[in-house]
Structure 1
């Protein structure tokens, strides 16, 4: 099994070894040694003995988990919006942002399926999104901006899904390398800009103005294109027969892109509605 993504390729090879061995890995996702299914044959109706197959992930698995994570994110956002007082908004959303960042990095770099971590990430990021949304809508006074940003975010998501489906945009190896490089660069720029802002230095990248608007548009375009990477990972994961548990990683990738796109939509809409 070959794919342009080396990580998926390694996971696919591991899944093939699992299937060849006739069992799922021990631990929370498979039986322990000595139990049925751990390298032991199962009888069939014909009387032959065959090893149990590892359950592969499907597109439906990813859809169900993505919807579930979005539901958790939405519930957490509504709860944070209503429970956190205005006087604590700043501290609360900064704390949620830091915890979410750490969890996101752990999940991303581990490249393993940790459902509990992914679910926790959705809850924490939901609180962060809810607090930021409340700041824009009520504290800063951008009435209706949250609904506009939600509609715009899902509009872009479904548009990219259609473009991927009809193969108008393909996740070629060159496209993937370019996207990973651009996203890494954007992350580095935003991190440097954040650190500089702590010392009172403004670069104008996140302020209302031509530079700030242009940077937000670039971020929105890149966030939208990142869905192509996510859709391709799902397609390749299904083709390679990755175990069902990896659908959590695929759903996590889609959730991250949706949250990033939504936050950038909020910022751009605030620029277009008035002074930041």
Structure 2
């Protein structure tokens, strides 16, 4: 059986019969012989007068998003890069100007994150607002975590923020490499495993928050201190990396299916959410490991 892509094509389809390829039937009155164009029409592969030929179209520039109205990888990369740049700028400004605003940024970011997650159509304004709120949150919480590593004798702190940034970029690159190489594939089993693990981690995190109101802890919650906290953090980093691979698969399918270009904002938003989570987990591990309390 031939490839259905070709056999069902009007260009590559063949008519088979006795002795292999069947000859075309004789033309009827008013029709052109097989392989020849009717009078007044250009032969196949040639364009009518005044219109570009197939060769001209092939050698011409690639269609852009404005031409097709569909999402492309370039759309996602540009929007994600722009949001990341905004996130870093806001976080740096918060670090130096008003680090105490991080609880407000956390609450506003959580609310806007839920709103954006459940919107059917992406809102660039709300996604940008979410990024700003997360920048405020990350700038303040990063300074607070680094403050836990200050050596009382020398007064210096471990550079855990820079280490967390590098760790986030390295994990992102590793996840992208594994996805592009096909070594890790998003299968129904993979998706089911990740969903169960995420639900379990969410339940654990909520329990840790509730217990922190009743049990004294070092700032990470009673279930996230010491070696146990580092172990849980490593599991969370693995889950975040798996979530990145899922994000890549969603983006790939969206581009292949030709979804509208506006959903590049949704793709960028999803990547930002996962990257923020990944950064926080790596930062928490480093803060626990280097804590001087």
Q: TM-score range by the shorter chain?
A: 0.7 to 0.9
User: Shift of residue 197 of structure 1?
Assistant: 1.1
| Alpha-carbon distance in structure 1 between the residues aligned to 2:216 and 2:180 | 44
| Alpha-carbon distance in structure 1 between the residues aligned to 2:195 and 2:137 | 25
Show the counterpart of 1:264.
281
Show the counterpart of 1:187.
202
User: Shift of residue 148 of structure 1?
Assistant: 0.6
Show the counterpart of 2:143.
134
Show the counterpart of 1:231.
248
Q: Deviations over 1:67-87 (max 9, x none)?
A: 0010110011011111116xx
| Alpha-carbon distance in structure 2 between the residues aligned to 1:167 and 1:111 | 31
In the alignment, which of 177, 184, 196 is matched to residue 162 of structure 1?
A: 177
| Alpha-carbon distance in structure 2 between the residues aligned to 1:247 and 1:265 | 27
Give the greater-gyration-radius structure (CA): 2
User: Shift of residue 111 of structure 1?
Assistant: 4.0
In the alignment, which of 196, 214, 224 is matched to residue 199 of structure 1?
A: 214
| Alpha-carbon distance in structure 2 between the residues aligned to 1:168 and 1:154 | 20
| Alpha-carbon distance in structure 2 between the residues aligned to 1:183 and 1:158 | 22
Is 1:153 the counterpart of 2:171? The answer is no
Q: Deviations over 1:75-120 (max 9, x none)?
A: 11011111116xxx2xx22221111111111111224311111111
- Structure 1 residue ranges without an equivalent (≥5): 1-44, 47-51
User: Shift of residue 196 of structure 1?
Assistant: 2.4
Report SS of the residue matched to 1:156. Answer: helix
- Structure 2 residue ranges without an equivalent (≥5): 1-49, 52-65, 151-156
User: Shift of residue 53 of structure 1?
Assistant: 7.8
Report SS of the residue matched to 1:242. Answer: coil
User: Shift of residue 240 of structure 1?
Assistant: 1.3
| Alpha-carbon distance in structure 2 between the residues aligned to 1:157 and 1:93 | 25
Show the counterpart of 2:258.
241
In the TM superposition, 1:99-118 aligns within 5 A as 99-118=108-127
| Alpha-carbon distance in structure 2 between the residues aligned to 1:136 and 1:192 | 21
In the alignment, which of 64, 68, 83 is matched to residue 82 of structure 2?
A: 68
CA contact (8 A) 1:204 1:211 kept: no
Show the counterpart of 1:36.
none
- Pairwise CA RMSD: 2.0
User: Shift of residue 188 of structure 1?
Assistant: 2.7
Task: Name the TM-score, length of structure 2 as normaliser.
Answer: 0.70
| Alpha-carbon distance in structure 1 between the residues aligned to 2:114 and 2:203 | 14
| Alpha-carbon distance in structure 2 between the residues aligned to 1:144 and 1:197 | 27
CA contact (8 A) 1:153 1:258 kept: yes
Structure 1 pair 111/173, CA: closer, same or farther in 2 (3 Å)?
farther
Count of residues in correspondence between the two structures: 221
| Alpha-carbon distance in structure 1 between the residues aligned to 2:289 and 2:246 | 29
User: Shift of residue 275 of structure 1?
Assistant: 4.3
| Alpha-carbon distance in structure 2 between the residues aligned to 1:167 and 1:204 | 39
Task: Name the TM-score, length of structure 1 as normaliser.
Answer: 0.75
